[in-house]
Structure 1
Amino acid sequence: MDEYEIQEEKFADLKAEWWDLVRRCKQANTIFLVPEWQEPWVDVDLNADGQSPLSIRLKGTLVGLAIIRRDDGDVSFSADTNLCDYLDFLVDPDYEQGVFDAFLEYASDQSWQTIDFQGLQVGSPIVEMLPQIAREIGHSVEITEWDVAPYAALPDTWDDYLTGMRKKDRHELRRKRRRLEEAGGFQYRVIKEMGTELERLMDEFFRLMRISREDKAQFLNEEREEFFRNLIFSMAGLGYLRLHVLEERETVVSAALGFSYNGTFFLYNSGFDTAYSSLSVGLLIKAYSIENAILEGDDKFDFLRTNEPYKYHLGGQDQIVYRCFIELADAM
């Protein structure tokens, strides 16, 4: 029988192997699970004690990795689900059974009481395989639909995308775009690289987030702004950053932060100046980002979690995001 080794390891010591593992995990190969995404949050998390990467190795090779938080006997993913739309247990597809067997044995040895994994995409091995393994050894498992994350499959051209939209939505989008063009003086562009311009536009992005909606102003506290800044610089360095801005001459009136990774564009957050609401600049910056993703050759546009109406007006359709809750047998 293969012997799996489980231990806590430091982020810095894992980075190269982490990248190799996430690329092997087709279902979990998402921007939210790359090491550069996880590291900034730990750096600014004031409650970082009790969270760490839990590695699972077979003959020295990393075949499983879970970034977890322990609160007494209750275990969950360490990342803030307000900042990470998708989370998962990174498992080499060739070793899923062995990794989960070893993980559950470790959980019992550590006297964990519950395991609560949220933010799981369709096809996650936590949804597809872990429940059966856990139930076979007496644990209680509940899989629930936790949220939705609208998305759109991207065709080869913007015209094809428009054709696939609902007739009313297509008409409204064309009308709003035409009205902006007729107003004149507006310019759309995308920032991808490090530099003083990125720093300036990043400040504008935060300003627009805060003034566009009260809930966004409350969300963007000092700690989360620091996370955003670290993340933006990291993603720019890796080539994944896409900061979309719409300007009236030199004034930024709307902005959308996103990332292009592994064939998918992830629309992460946005903001706009409410003084320009009559020109629908908040909606249009998102439409421009869809068109840009098509031009760059992405296959999927992910609006990410929550069912805000604009996502469906722009062609989104739901995909389910799951939660897996396990109560260990010894705790029942």
Structure 2
Amino acid sequence: MRVERLSAWGAGGLDETAWNGLLARSATDVPFLTWQWQTAWWEAFGPGPLALFVVRDGETPIGLLPLYGLEAGGRTVLRLVGEEEIWKALLPSLLELRWDLLDLHCLPAASPSLQLLPGLARAWGLAVEVEREERCPVVELPESWEAYLARLSGKDRHELRRKLRRLETRQARTSALTTPAAVAAVLDTFLGLHRKSKAGKARFMDARMEGFFRAVALAFARAGWLALWILWVEGRPAASLLCLDYGSRVSLYNSGFDPEAARLSPGVGLIAASIRDAIGRGRRRYDFLRGEEPYKYGFGAVPADVFAVRLRRR
């Protein structure tokens, strides 16, 4: 087993196929660790320098750790772009770099890094901090839409049905775009609804963020991992969802709606349509991702914790 440090995407024979193949065999196979997401994020936001560690068994990659360095308050911080033997091999190489803080975010409870790294790091004399960072509401999906509705509380089920009936009276229809050409054709609609939703979202969606959204949406569409949902009311777009359809789960990554249609609850109707579609295609989990907005729990979600791990040199 050996550790190699790369400074550019695609170096060392580590291409999209090798990267995603290793990810598919890992315990944390999530869309945000795919080659498509990591490279799109780096192209839009990567502050540099890139430190991409590859653990190999012979010539076969068996572990990856993409990090970038930045200066913060006079300290050098390494952050995740972002099995025990893998970490044992990686730590000595990490300690050869100049850094003050290794800052890892959004680690799920089942992550081997969360379970193994703190103890290994303490053995190397590092100070370790572990904290719950956020909660991600998730819905474990049953076999049918009827079974899903039966799981909701009486109040939530009544409210959902009432809002869906109200949309039906306004000739509401939904469309889910999945091919690169179809996604490209409606991205402007999604971005417009996103910016309309509220002032904070308009500020968030600056030119650089828009470039990232466009790049990652098209990359995921080419891979077959994306559905861009639009809800139309009387022929006009009223709400939109950007859903990542990866493996056995659908993740609601971002959304937007027209405030003029707010009284119709178009977002609720569109989320319900995407959940029903996910159930129909055999997906096992619907993930609302970070943020505990009350509406997410109205769909029967339960919280799943994600954690941060920080290593400091003493």
Q: Report the TM-score when normalising by structure 1.
A: 0.89
- What is the CA distance between 1:249 and its match in structure 2? 4.1
Q: Aligned pair 1:17/2:18, yes or no?
A: yes
1:82 is aligned to: none
In the TM superposition, what whole-angstrom CA distance separates every residue of 1:182-221 from its partner, at most 9, and x where no partner exists?
23x22112111122x4323110100000011111111111
User: How many positions carry a matched residue from both structures?
Assistant: 307
Question: Over the residues paired in the alignment, what is the CA RMSD in angstroms?
Answer: 1.4
Distance 1:240 1:111 in 2: 38
2:69 is aligned to: 70
* AA matched with 2:155: K
Q: Give the secondary-structure state (helix, strand or coil) at the position aligned to 2:303.
A: coil
Distance 2:206 2:122 in 1: 41
1:52/1:224 CA distance change after superposition, 3 Å: farther
User: 1:255 touches 1:285 (CA, 8 Å); kept in 2?
Assistant: yes
User: 1:4 touches 1:99 (CA, 8 Å); kept in 2?
Assistant: no
* AA matched with 1:44: A
In the TM superposition, what whole-angstrom CA distance separates every residue of 1:30-75 from its partner, at most 9, and x where no partner exists?
1111101111122222x53212422222222211111111125321
Q: Unpaired segments of 5 or more residues in structure 2?
A: none
- What is the CA distance between 1:132 and its match in structure 2? 1.0
Distance 1:108 1:236 in 2: 39
Distance 2:99 2:92 in 1: 10
User: 2:48 touches 2:70 (CA, 8 Å); kept in 1?
Assistant: no
Distance 2:172 2:143 in 1: 26
Distance 2:184 2:233 in 1: 19
Q: Aligned pair 1:268/2:268, yes or no?
A: no
User: 1:68 touches 1:75 (CA, 8 Å); kept in 2?
Assistant: yes
2:5 is aligned to: 7
User: 1:9 touches 1:55 (CA, 8 Å); kept in 2?
Assistant: no
Q: Unpaired segments of 5 or more residues in structure 1?
A: 79-86, 88-95
* AA matched with 2:84: Q
Correspondent of 1:187 among 157, 161, 173 = 173
User: 1:5 touches 1:58 (CA, 8 Å); kept in 2?
Assistant: no
Distance 1:52 1:251 in 2: 47
User: 2:3 touches 2:93 (CA, 8 Å); kept in 1?
Assistant: no
Q: Give the secondary-structure state (helix, strand or coil) at the position aligned to 1:111.
A: coil
- What is the CA distance between 1:165 and its match in structure 2? 0.9
1:91 is aligned to: none
Q: Give the secondary-structure state (helix, strand or coil) at the position aligned to 2:180.
A: coil
Distance 2:70 2:163 in 1: 49
Q: Give the secondary-structure state (helix, strand or coil) at the position aligned to 1:149.
A: strand
- What is the CA distance between 1:97 and its match in structure 2? 2.5
Correspondence list, 1:1-332, <5 A: 3-13=1-11, 14=14, 15-26=16-27, 28-45=28-45, 47-71=46-70, 73-78=76-81, 87=82, 96-183=83-170, 185-195=171-181, 197-328=182-313, 332=314
